[in-house]
Chains A and B, each alone.
Chain A
Amino acid sequence: MASRRNVVVTGMGVASPLGCTAGGFWDGLLTGRAGIGPVTRFDPARFACRLAGEVDDGRLDPVDGPFSFEIKRMSTFVRHALHAAGRAIGDSRLFPDGRPPPGGAVFMGVAMGGLPSIEAGVLRQERHGVRKTTPFLIPSLIPNMAASMIALRHAITAPQRTVAGACASGSQAIGEAAEAIRSGACDWALAGGAEAVTTPITWSGFEAMHALSPGEDAGRAPRPFDRARDGMICGEGAAVFVLEERSRAEARGAAILGAVGGYATNSGCGEDITGIAVADTAACMAAALDDAGLAPSEIGCVFAQASGMVRGDAAELAAVRATFGPARLPAVTSIKGHTGYLFAANGPVNVAAALLAMRDRLVPPTRNLDAPDPEFGEFDIPTAARRAEPRHCLVNAFGFGGINATLVVSRPDLS
């Protein structure tokens, strides 16, 4: 029987509220730095929530070169995606002469895409008239522009795919890329997710759902798993990875950062279209473990979706309990207290954290967890960076509409 084609990570790029390098992001996680601050992209005075996890665009790589004119007119998520993809490609050394090798693909997950461009376009039309609408409005806002601009910028003529799976989009993109490599449909892929929707209509929508934390102290919100958690803080970010078939990566002498060994996605959210259903998310985690060929006890840490929502955090931990059993619970951590909620980038940025955790044998803390909800007493949730030996990590991402996705990532020497 032919052995399964294994998928490894050979490049990583991050744009996050903690910084726009993988090192800066990781340092921020370990030291418990807050990437949350006052909203600067618009005046939030009319809203109860005035905090966000914004990316410092001044730290993005410059966009000189092909399509720089168009890139400047794209919605912000595209520039974050391009930064992360450029860093991942450079990290991987996969394009030694600047040209992509054959056998590739691009998979990107984007949920809300160009919402800021849509809102700005509507306002401009109302204030200045229909004729003043920029002809770049539609190209700037369509969600595929993250994948498309990555392909155009790097002269990738291979297939591209954009996954619109709400906040599971980025994880689904990585999972689909891994499956494509496993199946032989491609040998390498750029895969990840991007989101940047810091715009008033986002705040209106989520405040209407009572989903945003009204906390005013940027150093104290959001508070995943805490008894005083009171909602999420919106963040921005992107993470993109170069995935390769293992033997090919080893043959070219690539530095292997980790492996993507398991993936599962399913549907179900009970009766609440924005909710997290314990049975369905537990089934998703179990299926990802099965796909990876791992027993629950082999997972060293769960990188949770946990955003600081009262019911969502509780449902996810109940699903972890159902999946692992009360006697074998792994460590669970959430980075949302550092970065805010990154929507389609939730999963990919968590994958970056998980890979770095396994590299450095450290589990990053859950920030702002002062008094864990008594309901979560049985869980091991680090509040400071902790020395550990995670060999495999599980990454959750769940999206509105009952889209659940779980990835299993492993140390470089394991698949």
Chain B
Amino acid sequence: MQDKELFDKVVTHIGEFIEADTSHLTPDSRLATSIQGLNSLKMFELILYLEDCFGMSFGEDVMDKIDTMDDLVGYIRERMTAGVQPA
């Protein structure tokens, strides 16, 4: 999957999750401030949702590693490459 394709897919899944338009998101968008209403509980549940969407398990340290959309897409890319399966 190309980076742009993966980015678009993540944006789409975030939009599904928060039930809002997320087309404004760019790779530099900070997750904590660029998605309206994304408080900590929603963020934790978004991680679970993305795990299901991509059929993988994120690490316990995921929240420390993703600040921007680019970080999130890169994190997912890294897990895909490593072949991390669901726990």
Contacts and interface: CB of A to CB of B under 8 A. Distances in A.
A135 B44 contact: yes
Contacts of A136: 41, 45
B32 interface: no
B87 A134 contact: no
B50 to A, nearest CB: 13
A130 to B, nearest CB: 9
A75 to B, nearest CB: 16
Interface string B20-59: 0000000000000000010011101100100000000100
B41 A135 contact: yes
Contact of A134 (B19, B37, B45, B57): B45
B9 to A, nearest CB: 21
B18 interface: yes
Nearest to B60: A131
A65 to B, nearest CB: 12
Contacts of B48: 131-132, 134
B19 A69 contact: yes
A201 B45 CA distance: 26
Contacts of A134: 45, 48
A380 to B, nearest CB: 54
Interface string A129-144: 1011011100100000
B87 A69 contact: no
A129 B41 contact: no
A129 B44 CA distance: 16
Nearest to A131: B87
Contacts of B57: 131
Given A69-B18, A69-B19, A134-B48, A129 B87 contact: yes
Contacts of B87: 129, 131
Nearest to A68: B19
B87 to A, nearest CB: 5
Interface in A94-135: 129, 131-132, 134-135
Contact of A139 (B18, B19, B40, B41): B41
A219 to B, nearest CB: 40
Contacts of B40: 135
Contacts of B41: 135-136, 139
A132 B45 CA distance: 9
A92 B44 CA distance: 39
A69 B57 CA distance: 24
A133 to B, nearest CB: 9
A135 B45 CA distance: 6
Contacts of B44: 135
Q: Which 6 A-B pairs have the closest CB atoms?
A: A135-B44, A135-B41, A129-B87, A135-B45, A134-B45, A131-B87
